[in-house]
């Protein structure tokens, strides 16, 4: 049997009293303006109909003021006894609480303190909040509670509302840019037969109807490339992806990944596209190309630097990966230098490319603040990327690093099915030897490639990650509307 606080019990009793007067949960209310737009109306504008949640309220003898709000805007409302009538005014005072929904019709005016306000001539009860909101002056400040109860976080915290509005404006601007460049948005499967598309440990499940094991996609890459085989020359997808790996302030197991592919491009073409796209998107979202990120000011307007993997590691730790060019030699010098790599897998089971990647992430990436294109990745680190024509030990790939975070991964894609099959066989051997992040053989993908692929370059960008960087939030969960949380006792006791 559920127990209610005194306030919750009072609110439930109010619902029953409201039922005697009107429906406390009506089916609709016709509005004339969104809350974010109504402040722009001139004083004297009549026939305004708006609706929202009561966020602030001052009930007085013959006139009350309230502020109604949604995620994008708010407006003050005045309710006077001589405008709505004594009976209606008493109904308002008796039964409306903070958190309730109200519909208001009235006229715009400005108070003597300069506050744009709707003078109500009628109002409608639109929904009772059975739980009281947190104390208005403090809101919801506990981080875990914000993640678990994002809806309350959104109600109480303007910073949270603005962050998610920025995130979805950022997505909208990217989509608009790509569509204007004739890219087509497509959908690819979330449940797949083989884990593919990136080096990561997959989530595994079972499909009862087909009686087969399936995986949640790590990335949409190989299916977007299948679309290219079918004739979609420019494709993209905002894909929910899943990687069964460690959780920290910059990684989640489920996240939004934008992937984009263009036929007849190479990775250098996509460096031009990415720089142009992000500069235009950031300008459209922020109104400027100079953004304050924490205590750092990042100027996106300058030409972005390009640096090789080898030169970067030489710069920060003086290890030449052209000299220590296999896993055994590289691991030995890393251990001799006392460098502790962060890995969920035993580092002695990792290949050369993975070791190089972990080394760079440990010694160099945290110090890369301005936008930088990182190029010349070891081929072992990029099993789906095209080998460089001049140095087949490297791939035609870049990563965009901003403020110590990897924002974009991009490749000139491997389109040779024989070479791709050889690399997947090597990945499968690493997987069988214990590297759970290594890929497995995918014969269906190889078959698609054997029908012929044009030259392709593709890139992927973690949306939650880039928003975390741009907004300087301490945890990536701050940028995910409803992050997965471990159930607590209150969640599981019923």
Report pLDDT digits (tens) over 219-242: 999 999 999 999 999 999 999 999
Q: How far apart are CA 226 and CA 222, in angstroms?
A: 6
Q: Which residue has the higher pLDDT, 142 or 105?
A: 105
What CATH number is associated with residue 91? 2.40.50.140
Q: Can you tell me the mean pLDDT for 472-479?
A: 94
pLDDT bracket for residue 214 (50, 70, 90)? very high
- Quick: pLDDT tens for 419-445: 889 988 988 888 888 887 777 888 999
Q: How far apart are CA 359 and CA 407, in angstroms?
A: 18
Give residue 489's pLDDT: 63
User: Strand 305-308 relative to strand 372-378: parallel, antiparallel, unpaired?
Assistant: parallel
Are 480 and 406 members of one domain? yes
Number of domains in the chain: 2
- Quick: pLDDT tens for 346-369: 888 888 888 989 999 999 999 999
Domain range holding 76?
Answer: 6-133
pLDDT at position 494 over 50: no
pLDDT at position 141 over 90: no
Token pair for 221: 């890459």
Are 125 and 175 members of one domain? no
Are 111 and 214 members of one domain? no
Flag whether 143 is in a domain. Answer: no
Average pLDDT, the chain: 92
Flag whether 410 is in a domain. Answer: yes
Which residue has tokens 């992937």?
259
Give residue 160's pLDDT: 95
- Quick: pLDDT tens for 241-291: 999 988 888 889 999 999 999 999 999 999 999 999 999 999 999 999 999
Are 63 and 202 members of one domain? no
pLDDT at position 492 over 70: no
Q: How far is CA 440 from each of CA 188, 221, 349, 358, 445, rounded to the nearest angstrom?
A: 19, 15, 16, 21, 11
Q: Which residue has the higher pLDDT, 141 or 453?
A: 453
Are 103 and 184 members of one domain? no
Are 254 and 384 members of one domain? yes
Rounded to two decimals, what is the model's pTM? Answer: 0.89
pLDDT bracket for residue 172 (50, 70, 90)? very high
pLDDT bracket for residue 113 (50, 70, 90)? very high
Are 261 and 377 members of one domain? yes
- Quick: pLDDT tens for 389-402: 999 888 999 999 99
Are 271 and 385 members of one domain? yes
């Amino acid at each position: 049997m559920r127990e209610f606080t005194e306030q919750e019990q009072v609110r439930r009793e109010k619902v029953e009293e409201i039922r005697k007067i009107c429906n406390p949960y009506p089916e609709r209310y016709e509005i004339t303006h969104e809350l974010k737009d109504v402040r722009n109306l001139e004083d004297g504008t009549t026939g305004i109909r708006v609706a929202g949640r009561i966020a602030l309220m001052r009930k007085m003898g013959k006139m009350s003021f309230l502020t109604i709000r949604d995620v994008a805007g708010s407006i003050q409302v005045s309710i006077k006894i001589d405008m709505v009538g004594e009976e209606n005014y008493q109904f308002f005072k008796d039964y409306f609480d903070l958190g309730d929904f109200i519909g208001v019709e009235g006229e715009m005016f400005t108070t003597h303190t300069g506050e744009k306000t709707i003078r109500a001539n009628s109002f409608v009860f639109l929904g009772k909040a059975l739980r009281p909101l947190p104390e208005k002056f403090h809101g919801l400040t506990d981080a875990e509670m914000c993640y678990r109860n994002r809806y309350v976080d959104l109600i109480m915290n303007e910073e949270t509302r603005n962050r998610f509005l920025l995130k979805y404006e950022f997505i909208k601007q990217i989509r608009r840019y790509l569509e204007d460049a004739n890219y087509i948005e497509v959908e690819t499967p979330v449940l797949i037969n083989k884990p593919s598309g990136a080096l990561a440990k997959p989530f595994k499940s079972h499909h009862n109807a087909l009686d087969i094991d399936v995986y949640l996609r790590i990335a949409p890459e190989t299916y977007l490339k299948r679309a290219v085989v079918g004739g979609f020359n420019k494709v993209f997808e905002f894909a929910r992806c899943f990687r069964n790996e460690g959780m920290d302030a910059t990684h989640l197991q489920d996240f939004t990944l934008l992937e984009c592919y263009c036929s007849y491009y190479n990775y250098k073409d996509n460096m031009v596209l990415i720089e142009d796209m992000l500069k235009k998107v950031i300008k459209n979202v922020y109104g400027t190309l100079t953004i304050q990120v924490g205590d750092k000011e990042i100027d996106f307007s300058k030409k972005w630097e390009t640096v090789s993997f080898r030169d970067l590691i030489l710069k920060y730790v003086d290890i030449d990966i052209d000299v220590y060019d296999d896993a055994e030699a590289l691991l030995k010098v890393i251990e001799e230098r006392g460098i502790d790599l962060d890995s969920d897998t035993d580092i002695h089971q990792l290949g050369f490319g993975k070791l190089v990647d972990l080394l760079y992430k440990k010694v160099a990436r945290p110090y890369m603040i301005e936008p930088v294109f990182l190029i010349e990745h070891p081929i072992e680190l990029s099993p789906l990327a095209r080998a460089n024509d001049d140095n087949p030990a490297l791939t035609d790939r870049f990563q965009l690093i901003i403020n110590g975070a990897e924002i974009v991964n991009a490749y000139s894609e491997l389109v040779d099915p024989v070479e791709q099959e050889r690399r997947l066989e090597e990945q499968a051997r690493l997987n069988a030897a214990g590297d759970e992040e290594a890929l497995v053989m995918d014969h269906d993908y190889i078959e698609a490639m054997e029908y012929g692929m044009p030259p392709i370059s593709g890139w992927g960008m973690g949306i939650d990650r880039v928003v975390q960087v741009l907004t300087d939030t301490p945890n990536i969960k701050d940028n995910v509307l409803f992050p997965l949380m471990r159930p607590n006792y209150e969640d599981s006791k019923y």
